[in-house]
Chain A
Amino acid sequence: MRTEQIDALVIGGGAAGMSAAATISAADFSTALVEREDELGGVLLQCIHNGFGLHEFKEELTGPEYAERWVRKIEQSEVKTFCGTTVMEMNLLEDGRKECFGYSPQHGVIKFVTRTVVLTMGCRERNRGNVMIPGTRPAGVYTAGLAQRLVNMNGYIPGKEVVIVGSGDIGLIMARRMQWVGSKVHAVVEIQPYPSGLTRNISQCLNDFKIPLYLSHVVSKIYGKERVEAVDITPLKNGVPDHEQTFQIKCDTLLLSVGLIPENELSKQVGIELNPLTNGPTVDSMLMTSIEGVFSAGNVLHVHDLVDFVSAEARLAGENVIDYLKGVKPDRELPIKPGANIRYINPTRINPDVNSEIYMRPLVVSNNARLKIMVNGEVVKQQKKPHVQPSEMIKLKISPKFFKDVELTPDSRVEVTLQDEP
């Protein structure tokens, strides 16, 4: 069996993995990058629409172009890349190192013995079972991302008459894509009273094609024996389905864009603590998980809405791995908790002595909100937010200055709240 002795093993060769691996390798630490598909790039390769890279490259790129920029960086680095290889097992060795086994048709079984691991496995789509749509079980029900892969990479059109469940960005992008391959999208059905995708995608993917968006509606039944034949759509009244108002749309295909879940099978297997608010690992100020030397970044940690943020977060994880390998550790950390109107904050601990960047998701839509950072219940910093909505992550820079006028004790905690100011 082939054995690789390395400083860092990066698991998953998408946007996060390529960024983390390039960063660690640039500091002359031996790095391996493992990807289960036959080429690097992850989901970016099927995201052929544009809008990527505005932060990282200051230009608007398509997914494949964004991926290619990073693949070049990896090719020009010392990173050892293993494509077509799946990591199935991680063991903790007595000397603190980790032993991981990768399986690959090309290389057979590879044993990686590594000082650190970076988890960058991304996320997967929630499916029909997760949202429990009643009805028969015919062919023609796809998750939106699977349909995207079929159309954009494999060259198959999954159906002609389409209804989309969920107004997440993948669903909206797929509405336009299906129209552009000659299919007809009859409706997008969203359970929330507001769209869960970006407003610009509502405009350019739905309004451009006059596709109706039914807010506060659910697909309440799927019909069809061999193939989807129709769906029932029911409006919600005070959050409860109003069955008398149910109407039917004939269609042969139902696409589901109903959220993403970080893919943490490997993390669970090795006993890494998961955060129930994000479904990703709980991480400290270094983006290190509950197992020392195992770091995490990107959509496996929490689902991001911009790939640029994934690359940035993974670069930070890479820099933290370098610090860890050099023996640099924070002197102290404070827990940081979501307060009013904040769903979660990542990471869950911060180092008050350095600049840090945290990501959070709001629970409300507001066109005039105020973000407050509090320590021991005292407001240390406020920020105006002209527009917030749950589908758009808030990025916040935290500076040591925020803490200069408060006394920090081992019991101190930071809390962030969001107030709607009408």
Chain B
Amino acid sequence: MSPDKNTKEMICIVCPVGCHLQVTTDGEEVKVTGNRCSRGEEYAREEMLSPKRVVTATCRLEDPQHPRLPVKTDAPLPFEQIEELLAEVYSLSVKPPVKVGQVLIEDFAATGVNLVSSRTIQTQ
């Protein structure tokens, strides 16, 4: 057994069945059991090697009717960079008009992930 071999249990979040997966990693090699379909294997591999999440939050909006603007990342962001992104989102202040899908932070920390608006707000 190599020193970086390690086993983990996780619940697959791809679909509502929620398979209980046992995942064994040995360096870059990932072995998955407990999955009922191939999507579970794919999920477990990504989850072990580089877990990612879509982040949704709100930032300040300079509009008395709507003090907060909902925002999201347009792709999943590596887990360890979420805190850093949130800090930047909370220091952001957007002036209307803003359109749904409008990029507010481009290519965050060179990840290729953008922060975009989840809502359209017209000027009053």
Listed in ascending order, the chain A residues whose CB lies under 8 Å from chain B are 38, 45, 48-50, 60, 62-65, 68, 151-155, 180-181, 198-200, 202-204, 207-208, 367, 386-387, 392
Listed in ascending order, the chain B residues whose CB lies under 8 Å from chain A are 10-11, 13-14, 16-18, 53-58, 60, 65-68, 70, 72, 79, 82, 86, 100, 118-120
Q: Which residues of A contact B70 (CB under 8 A)?
A: 48, 62-64, 152
* Dominant secondary structure of chain A at its interface with chain B: helix
Q: Are A68 and B119 in contact (CB under 8 A)?
A: yes
Q: Which residues of A contact B119 (CB under 8 A)?
A: 45, 64-65, 68
Q: Which residues of B contact A65 (CB under 8 A)?
A: 100, 118-119
Contact partner of A199 among B16, B56, B118, CB < 8 A? B16
- Given A64-B119, A155-B58, A155-B60, also A198-B16 (CB < 8 A): yes
- Given A50-B56, A153-B68, also A203-B16 (CB < 8 A): no
Contact partner of B10 among A38, A180, A181, A203, CB < 8 A? A203
Q: Which residues of B contact A152 (CB under 8 A)?
A: 58, 68, 70
Q: Are A50 and B65 in contact (CB under 8 A)?
A: no
Q: Are B120 and A203 in contact (CB under 8 A)?
A: no
With A and B bound together, what is the CA distance between A203 and B57 in angstroms?
19
Q: List 28 A-B contacts (CB under 8 A).
A: A45-B119, A48-B57, A48-B70, A48-B118, A50-B72, A62-B56, A63-B70, A64-B100, A68-B119, A151-B58, A152-B58, A152-B70, A155-B67, A180-B57, A180-B82, A199-B11, A199-B13, A199-B17, A200-B11, A200-B16, A203-B10, A203-B11, A203-B13, A204-B13, A204-B53, A208-B53, A208-B79, A387-B16
With A and B bound together, what is the CA distance between A60 and B14 in angstroms?
13
Closest partner residue, chain B, to A46 (CB atom): B70
Q: Shortest beta-carbon distance, A128 to chain B, in Å?
A: 26
Q: Which residues of B contact A68 (CB under 8 A)?
A: 100, 119-120
- Given A68-B100, A152-B70, A155-B58, also A202-B17 (CB < 8 A): no
